[in-house]
Amino acid sequence: MRFLYPRVRVRVNGLEMALTAILFPGQGSQSRDMRDPVARVRPDLLSLVQELVGEDPFPRAEEGTNFAQPAIFCASLAGWTAIERRAPRAERAVGDLMAGHSLGEFGALVAAGCLSERDGLRLVVLRGRLMQEAGERAGDGGMLALLGAGAAGHADALAEAHGLAVANDNSPQQIVLSGSRAALPAAAAAAEELGLRSMQLPVTGAFHSPMMEGAVPEFAAALDQVELREPRVAVLSAVTAQPFDDVRLRLAEGLTRPVRWRETMLELHRRGAERFVEVGPGRVLTGLAKRTLKDVELVSA
């Protein structure tokens, strides 16, 4: 599917100005050394996450989403703190636009001043636990990555044919399907007949699919208890690929609805972003941006 958007640019004193978009990664971006910057730059955050999780989540980040999510969130905030400390004091905000991939939305909302760090971390810890438990209750959920030219064009048909959901529309060449683990081999075989490569992901559940519905009520109730403020800059929701309208609703929907990352990147570019800065561990979002956008500057902070 091809997206056609009119370009929107910001004018300052009659001159068009390119904007900077700050991107926060989601699960799958964890790295072995991501604890180090948290301990160095944000030891207070490391102490808080250990208190909320009940142990240090970093050594167990590969074991489940209940550990991976709080660890990646803290590493992303440590990266954001480092960027802010390097920025000139006169700058009110380092970025002009922000977005996060699934879990990364919480980092983006914190960085934009919409959500406090403590509330953000509490929500992330709860989200990780609820998603882990929902996956364990379902028992047979899994995810399948489809890779190669034309992946985006075949995703909907493959999902429908095999009773799966499109969980992540990451780039024109990378789509993730989610649902019953028993359905994944047939979907993989069908994808390979179309010339695509496939890879079953090492996850504990069918994330971003109806199989996560059991996690929604408790998470929505927790969202109702947090204070939200007007963000300093526009933060795009990966559920709608538009600026957040109802933050609580969109974050709750993010448990069961697809991550529309390809559309989110295109919308950031349409709004004038020509410099994309990935904050936090890994380089996943930088790689996806290369496959989606042309002639933009990509920075991994």
Alpha-carbon distances, residue 148 vs 49, 56, 90, 155, 172 (angstroms): 38, 37, 45, 11, 8
How many Å apart are CA 200 and CA 145, to the nearest integer?
6
* DSSP E strand stretches across the chain: 10-12, 15-17, 19-24, 97-100, 141-147, 165-171, 174-180, 197-200, 234-237, 242-243, 273-278, 297-300
User: Chunked in runs of 10, what are the mean pLDDT values of the chain (301 residues)?
Assistant: 36 61 93 94 97 97 95 97 76 79 98 97 98 91 96 96 97 97 97 96 93 97 97 97 97 98 97 95 94 93 76
Across the chain, which distance is largest between two alpha carbons, in Å? 59
Which residue numbers are catalytic?
Answer: 102, 208
| Identical fold between 10-137+208-300 and 140-200 | no
Residue 4's pLDDT is 32
Residue 186's pLDDT is 98
Residue 86's pLDDT is 82
Residue 194's pLDDT is 96
Residue 10's pLDDT is 47
Determine the CATH number of domain 140-200. 3.30.70.250
CATH fold for the domain made of 10-137+208-300: Malonyl-Coenzyme A Acyl Carrier Protein; domain 2 (3.40.366)
Measured at the CA of 123, the angle between CA 118 and CA 127, to 5 degrees, comes to 150
Residue 88's pLDDT is 63
Residue 301's pLDDT is 76
Contact 87, 117 (CB under 8 A): no
How many Å apart are CA 105 and CA 250, to the nearest integer?
10
List the chain domain ranges.
Answer: 10-137+208-300, 140-200
How many Å apart are CA 57 and CA 65, to the nearest integer?
10
* Two structure tokens written together for 123: 């929500």
